[in-house]
Structure 1
Amino acid sequence: MRERGIGFRVLHGALSSVDTTSADGRLFFQIIAAMTEFERSLIRDRTRAGLEAAKAQGRTGGRPSVVDEDVLTVARARKAKGESVSSIAKALGVSRATLSRHLGESA
């Protein structure tokens, strides 16, 4: 974009001296970009550390499962009787994919 003569210039406000068509404006802009990239890396590292600490304490994130042990026991019993996964899922109020995933894990 610089080759085509396109730049960024702040016209009003505290940063009105920023002009990326000049060397000092480009330097300022690059320093700000580097600081924001550094800040984003810190946020990512802190988030990762927090998630790992929570996991070490036995806490997990995400939506709670609708299929608990009671529902799974009923589903297994109905499946053993030969009922289809679709009809079991409809009767228990869960999706067929969710029930299949849980039955597959336990089978």
Structure 2
Amino acid sequence: MYIGYARVSTQDQNLDLQIAALKEAECKKIYEDQLSGLRADRPGLQNALDQLREGDTFVVWKLDRLGRSVKGLIDFVSVLEEKKVHFKSLTDHIDTSTPMGRFFFHIMASMAQMERDLIAERTRAGLDAARQRGKVGGRKRQMTPSKIESAKKLLANGIPPKEVANNLGVSIPTLYRWVPAQKT
């Protein structure tokens, strides 16, 4: 029997494409999760695993629906192999019921890991290059040096912190982060 599994990372993403593909692949049961692949506690995945019996095939739309690391994917497929359950990824054209399919799975999992590593490496390099050019990442600071000076003067003159924060257009916690209470 084919048992399918579909996953998206967030509640606003849609499972329809994956479910349609799994139905077309003749999955008798389809389990789903709407949470990050990094989480180990995925109820839909656990329910699917509980249903698998010897000779069944566990089907996903794409490898990355299962996990993010090569080790995690290989460990997962190894658990399936121990249960004598096959694995099939529809878009990656992997079917571990054949020796070539098992080999191809390991190659594809390694390439997926390499792609994620390259993306992370390029992101770090881009951030480093931006820092060297004087760019600072993140949100723009609410408290400029002139606002900090104004806040210090207003607080020193006895103006209540709530009023100072309102005048500067910041919250009280932001005001205190830049002008600690004991220095007023």
TM-score, scaled relative to structure 1: 0.79
- 1:8 aligned counterpart, secondary structure: strand
Q: Which runs of 4+ in 1 moved over 4 A?
A: none
Structure 1: runs of 5+ lacking an equivalent: none
Aligned to 2:131: 55
The higher radius of gyration belongs to 1
Residue 37 (str. 1) matches residue 120 (str. 2): no
Aligned to 1:6: 85
Q: Which has the higher contact order (CA 8 A, sep 6+)?
A: 2
Mark the CA change 1:51 to 1:24 in structure 2 (over 3 Å): closer, same or farther.
Answer: same
Partner Cα separation in structure 1 for residue 155 and residue 89 of structure 2: 68
| Length, aligned pairs only | 102
User: Which residue identity lines up with residue 73 of structure 1 in the other structure?
Assistant: E
Structure 2: runs of 5+ lacking an equivalent: 1-79
Partner Cα separation in structure 2 for residue 79 and residue 14 of structure 1: 63
TM-score, scaled relative to structure 2: 0.49
Partner Cα separation in structure 1 for residue 99 and residue 162 of structure 2: 67
| Deviations 1:61-98, CA, capped at 9 Å, x for gaps | 11111211222121111111233333321232201111
Higher helix share: 1
Higher strand share: 2
Mark the CA change 1:62 to 1:72 in structure 2 (over 3 Å): closer, same or farther.
Answer: same
